[in-house]
Amino acid sequence: MAADITKLGVKATWKDLTEGMIIAGAGTSKEFNTGEWSTDKPVFIEEKCKQCLLCTPVCPDSCIPVKDGKRGEFDYDHCKGCGICVKSCPFGAITMEGV
Protein backbone atom coordinates (compact mmCIF):
# COMPACT_ATOMS: atom_id res chain seq x y z
CA MET A 1 0.00 0.00 0.00
CA ALA A 2 1.60 3.25 -1.12
CA ALA A 3 1.02 6.21 1.13
CA ASP A 4 -0.93 9.10 -0.31
CA ILE A 5 0.59 11.60 2.01
CA THR A 6 -1.29 14.51 0.49
CA LYS A 7 -4.46 13.13 2.11
CA LEU A 8 -2.97 13.58 5.55
CA GLY A 9 -4.25 16.51 7.55
CA VAL A 10 -6.56 17.22 10.45
CA LYS A 11 -9.54 16.17 8.35
CA ALA A 12 -8.10 12.80 7.26
CA THR A 13 -10.38 9.85 8.07
CA TRP A 14 -9.05 6.57 9.48
CA LYS A 15 -9.37 5.03 6.04
CA ASP A 16 -7.06 7.69 4.59
CA LEU A 17 -4.19 6.58 6.83
CA THR A 18 -1.75 3.98 5.59
CA GLU A 19 -1.59 0.50 7.08
CA GLY A 20 0.69 0.69 10.10
CA MET A 21 1.17 4.42 9.40
CA ILE A 22 4.05 3.55 7.10
CA ILE A 23 5.23 6.12 4.61
CA ALA A 24 6.36 4.45 1.41
CA GLY A 25 8.55 6.56 -0.86
CA ALA A 26 11.33 9.03 -0.16
CA GLY A 27 11.42 12.82 0.13
CA THR A 28 7.77 12.98 1.09
CA SER A 29 8.07 15.55 3.88
CA LYS A 30 7.53 18.41 1.41
CA GLU A 31 4.13 16.96 0.53
CA PHE A 32 3.04 16.82 4.14
CA ASN A 33 1.38 20.06 5.14
CA THR A 34 2.62 20.68 8.67
CA GLY A 35 1.81 24.40 8.65
CA GLU A 36 -1.63 23.70 10.03
CA TRP A 37 -0.13 22.90 13.43
CA SER A 38 0.83 26.55 14.07
CA THR A 39 -1.04 28.96 16.27
CA ASP A 40 1.08 31.97 15.24
CA LYS A 41 2.55 32.85 11.91
CA PRO A 42 5.30 35.27 10.87
CA VAL A 43 4.38 38.15 8.57
CA PHE A 44 6.93 39.49 6.08
CA ILE A 45 7.00 43.29 5.74
CA GLU A 46 8.80 43.69 2.44
CA GLU A 47 9.40 47.46 2.59
CA LYS A 48 11.42 47.12 5.83
CA CYS A 49 13.52 44.21 4.49
CA LYS A 50 17.15 44.95 3.49
CA GLN A 51 17.61 41.43 2.02
CA CYS A 52 20.44 40.68 4.48
CA LEU A 53 19.18 37.04 4.49
CA LEU A 54 19.95 36.51 8.19
CA CYS A 55 16.49 34.98 8.58
CA THR A 56 16.80 32.23 5.97
CA PRO A 57 19.40 29.95 7.56
CA VAL A 58 17.85 30.08 11.06
CA CYS A 59 14.47 28.76 9.94
CA PRO A 60 14.24 25.13 11.24
CA ASP A 61 11.72 24.25 8.55
CA SER A 62 13.38 25.90 5.51
CA CYS A 63 10.27 28.03 5.03
CA ILE A 64 12.00 31.18 3.74
CA PRO A 65 12.71 30.62 0.05
CA VAL A 66 15.55 32.53 -1.63
CA LYS A 67 15.60 33.27 -5.34
CA ASP A 68 18.22 35.37 -7.16
CA GLY A 69 19.73 36.44 -3.83
CA LYS A 70 16.44 37.73 -2.45
CA ARG A 71 14.08 36.17 0.05
CA GLY A 72 10.43 35.75 -0.85
CA GLU A 73 7.14 35.11 0.96
CA PHE A 74 6.96 32.47 3.75
CA ASP A 75 6.05 28.89 2.95
CA TYR A 76 3.04 28.65 5.27
CA ASP A 77 2.43 25.00 4.35
CA HIS A 78 5.43 24.05 6.44
CA CYS A 79 6.04 26.99 8.83
CA LYS A 80 5.16 26.00 12.40
CA GLY A 81 5.26 29.53 13.75
CA CYS A 82 8.28 29.22 16.04
CA GLY A 83 9.23 32.89 15.64
CA ILE A 84 13.01 32.41 15.40
CA CYS A 85 13.05 34.46 12.17
CA VAL A 86 11.45 37.40 14.02
CA LYS A 87 14.29 37.40 16.56
CA SER A 88 16.92 37.13 13.83
CA CYS A 89 15.74 40.18 11.85
CA PRO A 90 17.63 43.39 12.80
CA PHE A 91 15.22 45.62 10.85
CA GLY A 92 11.80 44.67 12.24
CA ALA A 93 10.77 43.29 8.85
CA ILE A 94 9.06 40.20 10.37
CA THR A 95 6.28 40.26 12.98
CA MET A 96 4.17 37.49 14.48
CA GLU A 97 0.43 37.31 14.15
CA GLY A 98 -2.10 34.83 15.47
CA VAL A 99 -3.77 32.53 13.03
Partner 1 sequence: MAKRDRLSGNEAIAIALRQINPDVFPAFPITPSTEIPQYFASFVANGQVDTEFIPVESEHSSMSAAIGASAAGARSLTATSSCGLAYMWEELYIAASNRLPLALALVNRALSGPININCDHSDSMGARDAGWIQVYAENNQEAYDNMVQAYRIAEHKDVRLPIMICQDGFITSHAVENMELLEDEEVKNFVGEYEPENYLLNPGCPMAVGPYSITDYYMEAKRNQAEGMKHVEKIVLEVAEEFAKLSGREYGLFEAYRLEDAEYAVVMIGSAAGTTKDAIDKLREQGEKVGLLKIRLYRPFPAETIAQALKGVKAVAVMDRAEGYTNHGGPLGADVMAALYRARSQALAVNYIYGLGGRDVRVEDMEGIFATLKQIAADGDAGETYRYLGIRE
Q: Which one of residues 26, 67, 68, 90 is an interface residue with partner 1 (CB under 8 A)? A: 26
Nearer to partner 1 by Cβ, of 19 and 68: the residue is 19
Nearer to partner 1 by Cβ, of 23 and 96: the residue is 23
Q: Are strands 66-67 and 70-71 parallel, antiparallel or unpaired?
A: antiparallel
3-class DSSP state of 5: helix
With binding defined as CB under 8 A, does residue 17 bind partner 1? yes
With binding defined as CB under 8 A, does residue 39 bind partner 1? no
With binding defined as CB under 8 A, does residue 15 bind partner 1? yes
Q: Which residues, 6+ apart, have CB-to-CB distance to 17 below 8 Å?
A: 8
Q: Give strand pairing partners of 87.
A: none
